[in-house]
Amino acid sequence: MRILSFVAVLAITIFLFLFLNSSDFASATVGRITKKETFIPPMGKLLSPSSGFWRNAESKTGPSLSSSLSDGSLSAPVELLYDDRMVPHIFANNMQDAFFAQGYATASLRLWQMEFQTHAVSGRLAEVLATSEKMREVLLKMDRKKRKAGLPLAAKQTVELWKKDPKTYELLQRYADGVNAYIDDLSYAELPLEYKLLNYRPEKWTVLKSALLLKAMAEDLTAKDHDFEMTNAYKYFGRDTFNLFYPEYFPEQSPIINDTAFYNFEPVAVGDSLAKPFLGFDQGLPKNPNPQPKGIGSNNWALGGKKTASGYPILCNDPHLKLNLPSIWFEAQIVTPDFNVYGATLPGAPGIISGFNQHVAWGVTNVAHDVRDWYAIQWTDETKSSYIFDGEEKASEKILDTVYVRGAGFVVDTLIYTHFGPVVRTVNGQDYVLHWQANEPSSEAKTFILLAQAKNYQDYQAAIKHFSCPAQNLVFACNNGDIALWTQGKLPLRRPEQGKFVADGRYSFNQWSGFMPQKHIPHEYNPQKGYVASANQHSVSPAYPYYTYGYFEEYRGRYLNGQLDALSAATDSEMKALQLSNFSQKAQDFLPLLMKYLQRGELSKDELELLALFRDWDYEYTAEAVAPTIFEDWFYNLQALTYDELEEAAAQGMELNYPDAWHLLGLLKRDTSSFIWDQVSTEKQERIEDIVTLSFKETLNTVPKNKSGQPIRWGEMKATALYHLARIEEFSILDLSVGGTADALNAVSNRYDFAASRKADSLVHKGGSAAGPSWRMIVELGEKKPKAQAIYPGGQSGNPGSHYYDNMVQAWAEGRYNKLLYLESAEEGKEKIRIRQRLH
């Protein structure tokens, strides 16, 4: 009997041990009971009071970081001070030790985020997140798509390019060494929570991972293209009607470089014949499968001393990117005997992306020039070993690619490359390859390493010439009074309309002709107007000697330039007001015209009451306002009715895009008798008044309403969300009530899906994170020490159990800023320092 009892107890003990400490055993057991595939982490370890998730809960004083680290690779001790917001202030004797410490400090607070982002861009999410059959299927598809697009290979080639510059490569390696110094000391108890929940451990950090992160940024900012949709439209409408629907230039726009005296140079010969789209397909081409959300952009500007109260330049920057948790940015200060730099860093890459030192400040916005072209390939046979190019056979390159899927083993894929780039899409048997500047090796890391040391305009010029992709409007200010802006990057030389359509890959004349010479890249240096500024609008006017094509924003830039023109004796207060401005230039442009053509006599009592809600609206998209909700819904209905020709094309299998909003403005202002106003599906000849009125009448039924039947507030409509990177809702912030809109300087995008709501007859929101100001920074330069303020929606820690995970979100939402603690010595500002570390 005792033996049976012993055996029973032993069996139960073994079962509990396996269940609590083996993820595979526990998952399989629960799966058999529930008849569903279930992922269970090793619960014994996860629930352990000494090493489980309890250890990830922090007090408000911050994480438990060791007071010292011994590493034989350091040439001298490094002081690492964390302030009351957990911003690391690094004091080192040289750059090599400083970047080691930056890697160590960033990993201490953001390790899981850093590695997860490299897994995402390299097509390795299935390795760590594929915890069920459904997840395996979804993630494998995502991973294969990432690998086919080419960025993992481009990152490897980038590392090889970096190795040709030993000094820069050494700094990148020292950053990786610092990350690994932190990883090497990690016990299970100290692992970030996501590793425990998903049951895996971090890998060693490499320079390749830093390259992958920079390629991920290039992807976010250059992955937009409408080549397929434009080709569909060209084939469906023909040249003349296509030109009416899709003009390239907004007459009201205010370009970044508006001094046409700069345009007086002899350009490199490219040719002026119009590009011809590839039309060798029988059915409509599908839309881009990865549309970029509106709001991926930015604002930046620098005021010269003549426009500021202090007489010194002020520089401002607020990059608009996806708003996730942990935040895309990480604040840091790095001090060596040669420089003292502070700003926003990209976790996983050395240097400061947007920031300042004791002499200069800089910031970035997306240039938005198109650097992605698609080519249709004609293979010589079914093996796809060669293709036709200029009447001859040209060999392709095939690369065997292995994808590991958690719980399912390895999947082998074949990647095919042409001289244009990789084969990425196949539609109805036709292969299309992608020529993308992001797939080329590049040296952006060197730009930010050099900017940290910059002292003047010449240093700035020397630093930015290494920047290729994503092309950025790099704004600059110096305490000697200089201001400047370059639309820096490798900008393709194209014939007119080249890059707008899918091209025929059989002919070399469809290739890029090279890149703009550095001296011809649009730029301004100490302009007479007293400021430089960008907000993703056109870089130049049509008078510029080269053809430029891209995806530009035309409202923020015009409003920003108008406001800066009127400024004098400016202080940080005016700068904050601009960054936080919810004013919509688009609404101011459109609403008076819509009111002009609206036939009030045809409106019902309820419709007139809805119209009355526009009374005294100041075009501000505040969270509490109702008018923006009505206007945006009306505008969507107006577009749908005006461009009903596109719906007819869709019924025939052609996926087309709406023209840019400013095209509709042009119709309202200058082409009120256009055939476009007429409805294709009716016998009646509709006029502009009919369409404006009908679209407003529809709005009464389609505008989102609350339980009382009233239009909802704009903040509720937007439902701004900051999702955790792994989409864990418990670690996310949902339905944050903030103002702004993609067309305002405070460009917090809206997640409301008009099209889905029409079909669902309910309020429908997109599932992804919002996009918007991911970092607001204002730097006032001075003779000695700069003064700066900044904020971002998140916190310094990537740990959901930390006070510093999201402690700045509410301040960001309310428009508040933090005064940045710019230390000149390790002994300064002692009252603000929470944690001191010594690396030796």
List, as residue ranges, the binding site for Ca(2+): 370, 373
Count of CB atoms situated within 10 Å of the CB of 142: 15
Of 106, 102, 105, 95, which Cα lies nearest the Cα of 167? 95
- Residues 317, 575: Cα–Cα separation, whole Å: 10
* Active-site residue identified among 22, 23, 298, 443: 298
| CB proximity list for 4: less than 8 A, separation 6 or greater | none
Could you give the CA distance from residue 822 to residue 458 in angstroms, rounded to a whole number? 25
Report the distance separating Cα 804 and Cα 109, nearest Å: 10
Distance (Å, rounded) from C-alpha 484 to C-alpha 693? 47
**CA 615 to chain CA centroid, nearest Å:** 36
- Report whether 487 contacts 521 (CB < 8 A): yes
Give the tokens for residue 771.
Answer: 């996009």
3-class SS string, 314-383: EEEEEEEEECEECCCCEEEEEECCCCEEEEEECCCCCCCCEEECCCEEEEEEECCECCEEEEECCECCCC
Q: How far apart are CA 106 and CA 88, in angstroms?
A: 8
* Distance, first Cα to last Cα, the chain: 63
CA distances from 522 to 259, 303, 472 (A): 10, 19, 11
Per the omega criterion (within 30 degrees of 0), is the bond before 470 cis? Answer: yes
Do the beta carbons of residue 775 and residue 319 sit within 8 Å? yes
**Residues contacting 19, CB < 8 A, separation 6+:** 25, 26, 29, 43, 44
| Cα-based distances in Å from 395 to 150, 429, 779 | 18, 20, 53
Annotated binding-site positions: 370, 373
Active site residue 354: no
Residues contacting residue 476 through CB under 8 Å, at least 6 positions apart: 302, 315, 360, 361, 362, 457, 460, 482, 483, 484, 485, 486
Query: Which helix (H) or strand (E) element contains residue 244?
Result: helix 239-245
β-partners of residue 433 are 375, 423
Cα–Cα–Cα angle for 181, 185, 186, rounded to 5 degrees: 120
3-state SS, 271-282, equals CCCCCCCCCCCC
Tokens of 191: 């692992």
- Token couple for 366: 């997306």
CA 442 to chain centre: 19
Give the whole-angstrom CA distance, residue 71 versus residue 82: 20
The answer to whether 81 and 89 are in contact (CB under 8 A) is yes
Question: Which of 667, 652, 669, 800 is CA-nearest to residue 722?
Answer: 800
Burial of 612 (C-beta count, 10 Å sphere; 0-12/13-18/19+): exposed
Token digits for 523?
């730029």
Query: For the chain, what is the radius of gyration of the CA atoms?
Result: 28
The CA distance from 296 to 220, in Å, is 8
How far apart (Å, rounded) are the C-alpha atoms in residues 148 and 422? 7
Q: How far apart are CA 701 and CA 711, in angstroms?
A: 10
Closest to 173 measured CA to CA, from 202, 119, 209: 209
Where in the sequence numbering do the catalytic residues fall?
A: 298
